[in-house]
Structure 1
Amino acid sequence: MEPLNFIFFSPHFPAYGQEFCHHLNRNGVRVLGIGDTPFDELSGKLQASLTEYYRIADMENDDEVIRAVGYFIHRYGKIDRFESLNEHWLELEARIRTDFNIYGTKLDFIDNLKQKSKMKDYFVRSGVSTVAHLKSSDKTSALQFIDQVGFPIVVKPDLGSGASMTYKISTPREFDSFFSNKPADIPFILEEYIDGIILTCDGLIDRYGHVVFATSHRFEQSIMEVVNTDSHLYYFCLPAIDPEIEEAGRNILKAMDIRERFFHIELFQRRRDNKIIALEVNMRPPGAWMTDAINFTHDMDIYEEWAKMVAHNRTGGPFPGKYFTGYASRKHRLDYRYSHQDIVGTWHAELVKYQEVETVFRRAMGDFAYQFRAGSLDQVREIVAFIHELKV
């Protein structure tokens, strides 16, 4: 039987791409890479995982990508998958799958994954409450929306991921300033501000629409404020997913008819009444070292489970949670009470990873980060407080 032909677009970036390629290769998949980095500069692990690598000069150039795909078809026959597992390439992936009739999300559905306003339609279909919003760049309509929901509000680009160009607007003066200075060519949506924490529903769904693994992360900070204030970040991976969060995630996946993908769904838990409110859905692995957090929390290998799902439509498990895993970053501009040596010396038994963050992710993820696990939420909170304590 011929192996699955899997084109992995940008296998070298982000860095965890090599893990997905390695485990695909381990599961008998023919992994074909397309990237802009010279082959000799790829890690040894990634080089060993790729059957062949096609270097292009410009990752944004569709003609170059199409030529690379055509070359692989000529060499190996039908392409079975084309993936990057990266939000940035969602539309390009869909175009390639559509043009070459490759399994997976096609162009006719991609706007539902890219546009926040269209995501909310699926939240409504799923029966999960969502954030009140307005898709409009018209100032009059925006004022009417504020009359309904009040200040503060959140404004964000309708297209895009993360917290880039996302702002909390608390006063009429800030509102006027935003409308006077916003880029004319970028559609924005306005959202009611929710005072709450973010709980995620993360995991794997197979090609038949069955959720084969689910877990959850807890964010007690606003990522928007972390980015806008250039502050440090922390979050926790939880050993057990809240049943209400898991039910909401499953209902959203069913409404969107998602198949054979990672999923990363963000939901608010409103502080005043604990109500669950859907915020955003991403059909990719969670970022910010969260795949590693899953592994440390559940004593599993999520890269291997994803690869087995793609290659054989099966996974192992179950993988019960055993630990709380924390992430805490630092900013070089801040003056911390405890040194790196203090952190390693005090928490060496709990630390599982620490290193510089890739430059492009530093605004949100921090300049240097620590990952650690413990048996209780109180203990990982204590470690976060130790890492983040500033000099007086």
Structure 2
Amino acid sequence: MNIIFFSPHFPQNSTYFCTHLKNNGANVLGIGDTPYESLSDPLKEALTDYLHIKHMDDYDEVLKAVGYFTHKFGKIERFESLNDHWLELEAKIRTDFNIYGTKLDFVYDVIHKSKMKKFFEKCDVTMIRSVKDVTYTKAAEFIKLVGYPIVIKPDLGAGASMTSKINNDNELNQFFEQKPTEVNFIAEEFIEGNVLTYDGLIDRDGVVQFEATHLFDQSIMTVVNTNDHLHYYCLKDVPPKVRHAGQNILRSFDIKERFFHIELFESKKNGNLYALEVNMRPPGAWMTDAINYSYDIDIYKEWANMVVHNQVITPKEGTYYTAYASRKDHKHYVHSHEDLLSTYSPYLVNYNRIEDVFSQAMGNYAYQFRAETFEKVQSIVSFVQDEMRN
């Protein structure tokens, strides 16, 4: 199997996916904007061939690179980056070269939040009320319907960038005074609650072969907008209502042979789940590693097994709760790094500095730890993020 991995050098965990593709017998062909000599040794070992291009968003350059690999190695059977940023480019390449996977005629439905909603309508999942192509007039009419607060965010894009919670008329006026004219926004009613994810692997027959759930009990929007630190938990069991909603959504979108990351709101008011968004990629923010620690597996390996052999062999139940807790450089914490190591070393499984490009949401430095009870990881999060008071 000839597999082109686009941007194999970034983010860093792309190397693990490439390594396991090679170990499964695939020819892994890399395209990236980093010179070959600057790639890590493990990545060089994983790649059968590599083309350095100057501009990864220059479609003609990418097209020529894929054409070169096709001429040299024959039929290209997969083109992947596992990255939201390149989703449209991937689909265009697959369409032009007739490569298996999501094509251009479908990708616009999963990169625009407003278009996702027509698929959610087919599911047994409550939708968040919203209005697309939002203007001041549309927003004002929408607020008459749902009341304050509302959330306004870009229709296209991932994460919490340019996402705002609007609490009153003054904030609404301020938003539209500063709104970038080139960005289309969607307005949604605000749901007070937690985010529960449905993450995993679905094979080319449309069967979910692995599943996991992460819990975010703080607002990512607030984390980004206030430059706060982040924490979240990988649960050792998938709640039945999350499984039910997630699998309905997967069937509605007809997603196959993908890593998936579905986000749902759980209302604090009534416990209902609301469909938020679907991503056809691995979960970010060290969540793939959290899955490995909770389930004692190698999810990178299992993804490669699925792509090459259409099989996944993993335990279906987790053993641990795994937590992620970050710190921000501008904050002052009660407990030092050394305190953490000496107090909780039996529970710590990973700690490292975060790449600057991800630090606004993920923090500047982060810790991962696991325990058999949820209460234990909660207590360690509190220890990690305990701030000094003035």
Q: Same fold (TM over 0.5)?
A: yes
Q: How does 1:1-392 map to 2 (within 5 A)?
A: 4-392=1-389
Distance 1:120 1:196 in 2: 20
3-state DSSP of counterpart to 1:266: strand
TM norm structure 1: 0.98
- Deviation of residue 40 (structure 1)? 1.4
Distance 2:280 2:196 in 1: 16
**Offset from partner CA, 1:336-392 (integer Å, 9 cap, x none):** 111111111111000000000011000000000000000111000010000000112
3-state DSSP of counterpart to 2:195: strand
**Offset from partner CA, 1:52-96 (integer Å, 9 cap, x none):** 010001111111111110110010000000000000000000110
3-state DSSP of counterpart to 1:125: coil
3-state DSSP of counterpart to 1:18: helix
3-state DSSP of counterpart to 2:54: coil
Distance 2:356 2:207 in 1: 36
Aligned-residue RMSD, C-alpha: 0.7
Distance 1:74 1:345 in 2: 56
Distance 1:68 1:328 in 2: 40
Distance 1:40 1:184 in 2: 41
Distance 2:43 2:151 in 1: 41
Distance 1:357 1:256 in 2: 33
8 Å contact from structure 2 (residues 295, 315) kept in 1: no
- Deviation of residue 184 (structure 1)? 1.1
- Deviation of residue 319 (structure 1)? 3.4
Distance 2:297 2:315 in 1: 10
**Offset from partner CA, 1:254-274 (integer Å, 9 cap, x none):** 000001000000001100111
**Offset from partner CA, 1:124-148 (integer Å, 9 cap, x none):** 1112111110003322221111000
Flag structure 2 segments of 5+ consecutive residues without an equivalent: none
3-state DSSP of counterpart to 1:160: coil
TM norm structure 2: 0.99
Distance 1:302 1:319 in 2: 12
Q: Which runs of 4+ in 1 moved over 3 A?
A: none
